[in-house]
């Protein structure tokens, strides 16, 4: 009986020490995790805009993003609002996977403009929806006349490799480039 007490005491002490170490590690790495999430978002917006970012460091991604992407928030009536995308709270509709963006219980839309030499090349908007196994999150870039797809990326999903996971494949993504989303009569394709 005495040896069981020592075993339980050892296991309990080990569990408390490990929990403390995990908690401290999580707290210390939280800022780095948030930074990496932000850089990943910026990387995917740049990739969607058509930039080859494969060899970019995190600092180069941030620099290119800051010089070529303009963030805007649009109200549902189409007017630009003076607020940052980071001010928006994201709510997911669990049945459809659709993301909605709110600030003070009012819905808005995030918009990214890719600017090259002072000219808006394309507009980038977040997309989401249900796949077979999970919700897929990504970005789609539209030409500056909103007619053609200029790029598409998916940055988060839980689809199985070989089937739904093909959304990460550049060959899959390239099939959408230069596809029209609006026909000559102004109808969505």
User: Can you read off the two tokens belonging to residue 93?
Assistant: 């509709």
| Cβ count near 39 (within 10 Å) | 17
Neighbour-count burial for 67-76, b at 16+ CB within 10 Å, e otherwise: ebbeebbeee
pLDDT band, very low/low/confident/very high, at 92 (cuts 50, 70, 90): confident
* Residue 66 CA: distances (Å) to CA of 29, 35, 149: 24, 15, 23
In this prediction the pTM is 0.81
| Residues 2-39 pLDDT 10s | 678 888 889 999 999 999 999 999 888 889 988 998 89
User: Can you read off the two tokens belonging to residue 151?
Assistant: 């790029």
pLDDT at res. 53: 86
How far, in Å, CA of 186 to CA of 117, rounded?
29
User: Can you read off the two tokens belonging to residue 66?
Assistant: 């800051």
pLDDT band, very low/low/confident/very high, at 102 (cuts 50, 70, 90): very high
SS3 4: helix
pLDDT over threshold 60, residue 1: no
């Amino acid at each position: 009986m005495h040896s069981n007490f020592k075993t339980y005491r050892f296991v309990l002490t080990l569990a408390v020490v490990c929990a403390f170490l995990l908690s401290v590690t999580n707290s210390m790495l939280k800022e780095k995790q948030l930074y990496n999430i932000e850089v990943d978002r910026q990387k995917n917006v740049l990739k969607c805009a058509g930039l080859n970012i494969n060899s970019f460091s995190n600092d180069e991604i941030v620099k290119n993003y800051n010089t070529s992407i303009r963030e805007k928030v649009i109200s549902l009536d189409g007017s630009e609002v003076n607020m940052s995308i980071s001010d928006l709270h994201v709510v997911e509709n669990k049945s459809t996977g659709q993301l909605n963006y709110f600030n003070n219980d009012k819905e808005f839309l995030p918009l990214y403009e890719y600017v090259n030499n002072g000219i808006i090349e394309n507009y980038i908007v977040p997309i989401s929806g249900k796949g077979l196994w999970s919700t897929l999150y990504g970005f789609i870039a539209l030409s500056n006349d909103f007619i053609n797809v200029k790029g598409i990326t998916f940055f988060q999903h839980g689809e199985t490799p070989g089937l739904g996971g093909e959304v990460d494949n550049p060959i899959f993504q390239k099939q959408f480039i230069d596809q029209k989303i609006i026909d000559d009569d102004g109808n969505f394709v």
